[in-house]
Structure 1
Amino acid sequence: MRKIGSVFIGFVVVVLSVTGCKKEVLPKPSGYLRLDYPEASYISFQNQCPFSFERNDAAVISGQSNCGFTITYPKMKATIYLTYKPVQNNIKELLRDAQKLTYEHVIKADDILEQPFINPDQKVYGMFYQVEGNAATNSQFYATDSTRHFVTGSIYFYAKPNFDSVMPAASFVRDDMKRLLETLKWK
């Protein structure tokens, strides 16, 4: 009986010495990705097209045919696509197409916020759409003077649409697109 007791005590000592020598495991504190973007500086963009606007000087603008542009943000892998169309008694069709383009994202979007835009001094009227969720685009807009000019814009990222991952960059580029809309002038 005494032999069994000493074996038991020896076993307990071995178990305690093996398990008691490990370092205490502590959970790691939550970490957050810090993305610092430079203060935006804007410059006026003008060319032969019938409109002008201000753009972020860190972005690269490329011209396409028919006054369509791409404004690229290389560090963020994002692009704003601008399209211009003249109004030729087809304002209803242009408005319907612009709204349809936005609402095609409703399948993946959690919410689509509409913000009307009115600048009577420059005769610029339109709508700014903020698309929440894992949609292909985060923001879109259209602007018109209702009689001669119609411009649409949308943001796309060269990444799988994961709203949580691209949200800081999307907010930065969305602010630039709002600035573009607010400074849009017809010639």
Structure 2
Amino acid sequence: MKPTLRIRPYRLALYALLCLVAGSAGYSCRRQYTPKPDGYFRIDPYPDSYRRTTLLEPALSFEVPEGTVETLDHDTTRHHGGVQWLNIRFPRYRATLYCSYHPLRGNLDRLLDESRELVYRQSIRPEAVQAGTYENDSLHIYATLYDLSAASVTPLQFIATDSVRYLLRGSVYFDEPGKSDSIAPVVGYLSDHIAHLIESIETPAR
């Protein structure tokens, strides 16, 4: 009798698997590869929980999200004219909001002009800069939030003043440059946080 190939029952599953792998390998060699679009990590916003920071003098305070880290910049070379620097770190976004506090001594118009010039100089598309304004007549707070686009080195900047005693200026910078598509949601989150910061500014009564 002519011998025949026999497959023992306990080896049947292994044999079928080997046949399947071999067939798939042959098919994959003939299949055309289609590149997939870039993917980005999901970055969730900070929760809607805020705390008040009072690091700036004289007693200018505002609210920042829980989870941020505020530090005063003690570089004395930049503290001329009573200017103070406060860095607000957003670890989750790998971004920092650099703020400077400027006492007003007849220099409001100059500071406003400098701030606007800085905004449009740092934007890659000056004609596309968007500006949102905020006014609180009862607290004498007037502010502008500039959106320079996610592709700019500093996508968000703001100025806030009571027009008599101080001007507060801020700029957002990311730790490392990224594609505008990947950081656009984060820029949106930061814009909301800065709007809240502006709306929560408190100063001693005049």
Q: What's the TM-score, normalizing by structure 1?
A: 0.79
Q: Does 1:56 align with 2:65?
A: yes
The Cα offsets for residues 50-87 of structure 1, whole Å up to 9 and x where unpaired, read as 31100111100001244320001123210001100111
Instruction: Show the 5 A alignment for 1:8-47.
Output: 22-23=27-28, 33-47=41-55
Task: State the AA in 2 paired with 1:59.
Answer: T
Partner of 1:67: 84
Q: Does 1:147 align with 2:164?
A: yes
Equivalent pair of 2:47/2:66 in contact (CA under 8 Å): no
Equivalent pair of 1:111/1:133 in contact (CA under 8 Å): no
Report the more deviating stretch, 69-78 or 58-67: 58-67
Q: Does 1:173 align with 2:190?
A: yes
- Higher RCO structure, 1 or 2 (CA under 8 Å, sep 6+): 1
Measured in 1, the distance between the counterparts of 2:127 and 2:180 equals 10
Task: State the AA in 2 paired with 1:22.
Answer: Y
CA deviation after TM superposition for structure 1 residue 119, in Å: 1.1
* Equivalent pairs, count: 168
Report the more deviating stretch, 46-55 or 84-93: 46-55
| Greater strand content | 1
After superposition, the Cα gap between the structure-2 partners of 1:33 and 1:75, relative to the gap in structure 1 and judged at 3 Å, is closer
Measured in 2, the distance between the counterparts of 1:132 and 1:88 equals 33
Partner of 2:21: none
Measured in 1, the distance between the counterparts of 2:149 and 2:120 equals 12
Equivalent pair of 1:83/1:153 in contact (CA under 8 Å): yes
Partner of 2:143: 126
Instruction: List alignment gaps of at least 5 residues for structure 1.
Output: 1-20
Measured in 1, the distance between the counterparts of 2:27 and 2:56 equals 73
Measured in 1, the distance between the counterparts of 2:93 and 2:72 equals 20
After superposition, the Cα gap between the structure-2 partners of 1:179 and 1:32, relative to the gap in structure 1 and judged at 3 Å, is same
After superposition, the Cα gap between the structure-2 partners of 1:92 and 1:35, relative to the gap in structure 1 and judged at 3 Å, is same
CA deviation after TM superposition for structure 1 residue 35, in Å: 2.8
Measured in 2, the distance between the counterparts of 1:83 and 1:35 equals 28
- RMSD across aligned positions (CA): 2.5
Equivalent pair of 1:87/1:148 in contact (CA under 8 Å): yes
Q: What's the TM-score, normalizing by structure 2?
A: 0.72
Task: State the AA in 2 paired with 1:122.
Answer: L
Q: Percent identity?
A: 27
Q: Does 1:135 align with 2:140?
A: no
After superposition, the Cα gap between the structure-2 partners of 1:133 and 1:48, relative to the gap in structure 1 and judged at 3 Å, is closer
Task: State the AA in 1 paired with 2:54.
Answer: Q
Q: Secondary structure at the match of 2:130?
A: strand
Q: Secondary structure at the match of 1:176?
A: helix
Task: State the AA in 1 paired with 2:99.
Answer: L
